[in-house]
Homo-oligomer: A and B are copies of this chain.
Amino acid sequence: MNKEIPYKIYLEEHEMPKEWYNVRADMKNKPAPILNPATLKPVTVEELSPVFCEELARQELDDTTALFEIPKEIRDFYKMYRPSPLVRAYCLEKKLDTPAHIYYKFEGNNTSGSHKLNSAIAQAYYAKQQGLKGVTTETGAGQWGTALSMACSYFDLDCRVYMVKVSYEQKPFRREVMRTYGANVTPSPSMTTEIGKKINEEFPGTTGSLGCAISEAVEAATSCEGYRYVLGSVLSQVLLHQSIIGLETKAALDKYGIKADMIIGCAGGGSNLGGLISPFVGEMLRGEADYEIVAVEPASCPSLTRGKYAYDFCDTGKVCPLSKMYTLGSGFMPSANHAGGLRYHGMSSIVSQLYDDGIISARSVGQTEVFDAAQQFAKVEGILPAPESSHAIRVAIDEALKCKETGEAKNIVFGLTGTGYFDMVAYQKFNDGDMADYIPTDEELERSLSNLPKVD
């Protein structure tokens, strides 16, 4: 127990988890099933298979199997950038003059710049296994698109990314990383799909939206022989793959005899948070341990803290299955919030159920205070964090400062999901003092929540 804790705890390669953990297996209250939008009945693997790879459809619907073996090919790929370090934030602790011990699991040390690669490589693998030619997806900020491009390039799969037009134009570098990995990147709405043509006709000059890009990607997958659609967050299969984050975190803590008191993660669609907390929540559900778990979301898109727990569409185009989740309504348009990955109107059904059951808590934070935390962190810890990740940093710093008041030496663990190299436009706004905070009014939320689909 008195082993000196290094700045970076790296597991050995042989200590890397060989199985993903499916937290649903230990949940007494299972997440509500996803529904076929046509029949309003729970979807089957057969119904999902024209859109998703079969094995992924199976993983999506399996809420009883606790452990899934990670195929060797995926583990070999993981070894290029995993195990990722669990970092003891000695310098931040010193700067804050806090008795708290702060740890962060850093997922940014790979070219996609975030944890998204953990699921991208799994999804590409199963597509390859199924003998597919390629996959389609949408991307907004571009982290997911980059991760999928890397994964497809590794398995020699065609990768077609529909990138929201405004991002395609404003983030040319993200687009070029994807192209360097051989992906075909199309600004959405495009003239290559029926839905794209229709939208371009109806709204000439539109710069697109995530909802539209999803619809185009789904159409491209289902209308093209040998293609399937893949998605980087929200889905339970994605949380399954992302459990590698939490499993490694727990293994590293256990190795040094550290018991976490608090676990903090940013939450957009829930992929990072769900992955990080899964094994810890599992212990809680089995009555083996207790943790304080905090989901941090932007005040501009507060699905957990101000949304409604109800069935809703996963996409603006309403082509995907219905999911019961904390939602702001599928028509909710978040303001120009720079934390691109946290702009989703809904939340993973697993995270939603855990929150509804009181197993995890949630907080919302404003953008300016988030960038202030990001800058503090960057200056002493040497990593320029992604805006998304910085939501977790904000709460970790707040909690560490509370410990300074109370004198508690809490062990605070947070997820640092990625780096901010492609988010310098946002940093520039912050540096120039031009960053605005935006909080939706109650009226806005009421309006966007008034159109939830009727499900019993």
How large, as a class, is the contact surface on chain A?
35 or more
Q: Which single member of B7, B80, B427 contacts A180 (CB below 8 Å)?
A: B427
Q: Which single member of B150, B182, B422 contacts A421 (CB below 8 Å)?
A: B422
Tell whether, in the assembled complex, residue A154 and residue B6 are in contact, meaning their CB atoms are under 8 Å apart: no
Nearest-neighbor residue (CB-CB) of A12 within chain B: B6
Note all chain B residues with C-beta closer than 8 A to A150. 379, 382
In the complex, chain A residues 382-435 whose Cβ is within 8 Å of any chain B Cβ:
382-384, 419, 421-422, 424-425, 427-428, 430-431
Tell whether, in the assembled complex, residue A176 and residue B428 are in contact, meaning their CB atoms are under 8 Å apart: yes
In the complex, chain A residues 1-60 whose Cβ is within 8 Å of any chain B Cβ:
6-8, 10, 12-13
Q: Which single member of B77, B111, B384 contacts A378 (CB below 8 Å)?
A: B111
Tell whether, in the assembled complex, residue B378 and residue A172 are in contact, meaning their CB atoms are under 8 Å apart: no
Given the interface pairs A91-B80, A172-B424, the reply to whether A379 lies near B181 with Cβ below 8 Å is yes
Residue A153 CB within 8 A of the other chain: yes
Tell whether, in the assembled complex, residue B12 and residue A427 are in contact, meaning their CB atoms are under 8 Å apart: no
Proximity bits, A160-203, B CB within 8 Å = 1, else 0: 00000000000011001101111000000000000000000000
Residue A109 CB within 8 A of the other chain: yes
Given the interface pairs A91-B80, A384-B180, the reply to whether A109 lies near B111 with Cβ below 8 Å is no
- Listed in ascending order, the chain A residues whose CB lies under 8 Å from chain B are 6-8, 10, 12-13, 76-77, 79-81, 87, 90-91, 109-111, 113, 117, 150, 153-154, 172-173, 176-177, 179-182, 375, 378-384, 419, 421-422, 424-425, 427-428, 430-431
